[in-house]
Amino acid sequence: MSRELPSAASVWGKLWGVSVGPGDSEWLTLKGLQILQAADVVACPQNRDGEPGMAYGIVKSHLRPEQTILPLDLPFVRDPVQLQQAWTAAGETLVTRLAQGQDVVFITEGDASLYSTFSYVAQTVHHLAPTVDITTVPGVCSPLAAMAALNRPLSLGGEKIAILPALYDVSELTHALEWSEVVVLMKVASVFGQVWQTLHDLELLEQASLVEWVGSSQEKQYPSLVDLADYTPPYFSILIVRRHDYRF
């Protein structure tokens, strides 16, 4: 990196990855709140307008006015070169703050270990400044939040669970349904039509549920997919199939 790093004698700040949950500001943990409120700098992914994005929106009611908000450009793209550049730039920005002795909390929607940009940003920071103390704080993840919203178990007893990150080949779903009793499809919107048809053919529409924007004011729940043949869910949608239904 081009910036000059401080000497080893400097006191580095700490980096925290705090999971803020998928939507409800009250799903932050007590530990997450304490760490969030103690930090000098709160870093977060920015939205397309360059403003602090969804994770910031979830926790902003908990922040102190004197905290520095640091939006980072971490675009939702698939190009590996563009992604690597974004992670490197974000890591350099964080290292600059850490090198000044500032503690930085990187907030991440959902859980910081589950398909989270924090993993890449933290690795970049570690490569640039290996002595930086990095701590991950777990939180509420969207599959479990969705099941709580539906008041249904994700899994029981001896059931196996398959989680698919996003579905590009519908044969993955068929395979997962052969192998496991519970299948979770993260961010299912882009393939919803194909998924619906597959579940229809397998006679599993009644055992499949959709939850949109879980925990936010826009939350919607569909406990069955039977009537959703022509539906287009929003980006933040999660789909859960339970081969053996169980409701209360």
Q: Summarize as ranges the residues that interact with a second copy (CB under 8 A).
A: 19, 21, 24-31, 33-34, 111-116, 119-120, 122-123, 125-127, 134-141, 144-145, 147-149, 151-166, 172, 175-176, 179-180, 246-248
* Cβ 224 vs Cβ 205: under 8 Å: yes
Structure tokens at 223: 């406990």
Rounded to the nearest whole angstrom, what is the least distance from the CB of residue 133 to a second copy in the complex? 10
> What gap in Å lies between CA 63 and CA 33, rounded to an integer?
9
Least distance to a second copy, CB of residue 21, Å:
7
Rounded to a whole number of angstroms, the minimum distance from the CB of residue 28 to a second copy is 6
Cα distance between residue 228 and residue 209, in whole Å: 10
Question: How many of the other CB atoms lie within 10 Å of CB of 222?
Answer: 18
The span from the CA of 43 to the CA of 97, in Å, is: 10
Cβ atoms of residues 199 and 241 within 8 Å = yes
Residue 119 or 194 having the CB closest to a second copy? 119
DSSP structural state of residue 14: P
Q: Which is nearer to a second copy, 123 or 232 (CB)?
A: 123
CB of 143 to a second copy, least distance (A): 8
Smallest separation, CB 50 to a second copy (Å): 25
Q: Which is nearer to a second copy, 134 or 202 (CB)?
A: 134
Q: Which of residues 28 and 195 has its CB atom nearest to a second copy in the complex?
A: 28
Of the pair 99, 111, the CB lying nearest a second copy is at 111
Pairing state between β 208-212 and 220-222: antiparallel
Half-sphere exposure of 15 (CA within 13 A, CB side): 32
